[in-house]
Amino acid sequence: MTDSDWPVALRGVTESVVTTEGPNGEWNAAALGLRDGEPATAETWGRTRTRRNFERTGRGYVQFTRDPRLFVEAALAVHETDDPVLPAADAWVRVEVERLDAGAREGTAWASWALRPVETDVRRERVPTTNRGFAAVVEATVAASRLGVDAYDDDELRARLDYFTEIARTCGGTAERAAIERVCDLVGGA
């Protein structure tokens, strides 16, 4: 396979869920932004389970989903499973990862990774739609995941979180509204 063998077109930063195998044999799900390029790359911030598992195993399963509830659990909670491929994945890619660089920014450790496809599967093809509620849930999880990180201003992040919460409640469907309520439960929001 080549780096261009992704089952979807990567543009800018494409949000995904990645599962990585922990030392306990469970697969930890986390949100992961994929940057297009040859090879595609991603960054981990902090000493996360994803970073530790990438360092230890050199692999993972990148998954594409339209389930906002799964995205919230992966981004903000500890979500472990016995199977590396999640039921809500529309498509998945088994990847080999290689650390390209690492450092710290304002006290927060980061690492940059090359992700190379090894195996892919498309489970469901859907007609694309644009739902502002889903996009707001994704943006809310980004803001929430940065709370308490020295490189970011918590007041600014809380303001973003409030804004995106309102958008998700107003523009989202049942799944998006449930997902944003879970964000609020996990990080203490409106």
116 shares its domain with 141: no
102 shares its domain with 19: yes
Q: Tell me, what DSSP letter sits at residue 190?
A: -
The CA-atom distances, in angstroms, between 28 and each of 47, 121, 173 are 14, 20, 27
Give the pLDDT confidence score for residue 2 in this predicted structure.
52
Does any domain span residue 3?
no
Give the pLDDT confidence score for residue 130 in this predicted structure.
84
Both tokens of 24, joined, read: 């306990």
Task: Name all contacts of 178-181 with Cβ < 8 Å and 24+ positions apart.
Answer: 178/68, 178/69, 179/68, 179/69, 179/71, 179/72, 179/137, 180/68, 180/72, 180/133, 180/136, 180/137, 180/140
Closest alpha carbon to 180 in 121, 136, 148: 136
pLDDT in tens, the chain (190 residues): 555 689 998 999 999 999 999 999 999 999 999 999 999 999 999 889 999 999 999 999 999 999 999 999 999 999 999 999 999 999 999 999 999 999 998 888 999 999 999 999 999 988 878 899 999 999 999 999 999 888 889 999 999 999 999 999 999 999 999 999 999 999 987 6
If DSSP codes are grouped into helix, strand and coil, which group holds residue 37?
Answer: coil
Give the pLDDT confidence score for residue 1 in this predicted structure.
52
The domain that contains 150 carries what CATH number?
1.20.58.290
Whole-model pTM above 0.85? yes
Domain range spanning residue 26?
13-122
How many other β-carbons are positioned within 10 Å of the β-carbon of residue 173? 12
Instruction: Encode pLDDT of 133-148 as tens digits.
Output: 999 999 999 999 999 8
Both tokens of 124, joined, read: 């469901």
